Amino acid sequence: MSNKTESELPIDFKPGDYKSPLKPIWCAGCGNYAVLNALAMAFAQLKIPRHEIAVITGIGCSSRLPGYLSTYGFNTLHGRAVPIATGVKLANPKATVIAAGGDGDMFSIGGGHLAHVARRNVDLTLVVMDNRVYGLTKGQMSPTTPIDSYTSTTTYGSYEQPVNMVRFMLGYGTGFVARAFSGDMKQMAALVKQGIQHRGFSFIQALSPCVTYRGKGEYDSIKSMSAQLPDDYDPTDQLAAWQVSDDSEKIHLGLIYHNPELVPYDTKLDKLREKARGPHKQEIARLIDEFRP
C-alpha cells in the first residue's frame, strides 16, 4: 500500500532508542503513553534515523510529546502545530514530520489549518490524541465531548454536537484516514507506520482516554463500542469510509480510507519550479554570469 520504502541504512534502533531520558508526567493510566510507545515502535520498524524525524506539537497534555522523544521536536503555539509542521516539511522534504496534539488543540483553535493541509496534501502525519476533554486546564468541554457529558464547564450536561473527526477529514479530501485506540498499542503503531509511509497527508485519530477528567468508564465505554474493520473491508472505497464515519453504534478501528493516487504537495512544487524556470533558464544563467564576482 505504500509508495515509500523502508530505510536501508545499517541501523538497528529499538523503540526505546527513540525515547529521551525525560520521564512522562502524564497521569497514571493516560492513553498518551500508548501513543508515545506507538510512535517509537513505528520509527524503529521503519529504521528512521533519529535526526531525520521532527515531531511538532501545540499546547496541552498530549503536546508534551516531543520532550519524551530523542528526535527533533518543537512545542509551538496552541493550535499551530500543523502550519509549523508544514514549514518544516517544505524546508526539508526528506524529513519524516509528525504533527501531534489533542482534540481541542487541533479541532478548536487549530481547526482552521486542517482543511488547508489536507487540500495541499502536504507529506506529513497528523496524530490527534482524542480524550474528549480539555485535560491540561482542568476538564472543560472540548470539541469532541459527547452530548450530555458533565464537565467543569457543563455542570448540567453538554448540549453541543461533538465533532466527528473522521467525517471532517474525509470531507477535506484527506488521502489517509485511520482510527486507533490506546488499548491496542500494536495496531496504533501499525497505523502510524502506514501513515508515515503514505506519500501525502495522513490523519490518525488516536482515542486516548483521560483517566482524570473522564474516568475509567471512558476507557471501558470505548473498548465496549470498538470494532475492528472486517478483513474484507476496502479502504479505497470512499463510500464505505463515509458509512464507517457515520456509524453511531460502533467505533470502527483501523485504516478507514486510503487514496495513494493523490499527488503530494512537494511534487507539485517541484513541477511548478521547473515550469517557472523553463522559459528563463538561459536568461538566468546569463545574469548569474554577468554579476558573478
- The 8-class DSSP code of residue 9 comes to S
Q: What was the pLDDT predicted at 139?
A: 85
Q: What was the pLDDT predicted at 257?
A: 98
Q: What was the pLDDT predicted at 273?
A: 82
Torsional sign, CA 74, 75, 77, 81: positive
CATH number for the domain formed by residue range(s) 15-262: 3.40.50.970
Residue in the block written with cell 477529514: 169
Q: Within its chain, how far is the Cα of 5 from the centroid?
A: 20
Please list the rounded mean pLDDT of every run of 10 residues in the chain (293 residues): 45 89 94 96 96 96 94 94 97 96 93 96 97 88 88 90 96 98 96 98 96 87 94 97 95 97 93 79 82 85
Contact between residue 58 and residue 101 where contact means Cβ atoms under 8 Å apart: yes
Contact between residue 185 and residue 38 where contact means Cβ atoms under 8 Å apart: yes
Measured distance CA(276)–CA(189) in Å, rounded: 41
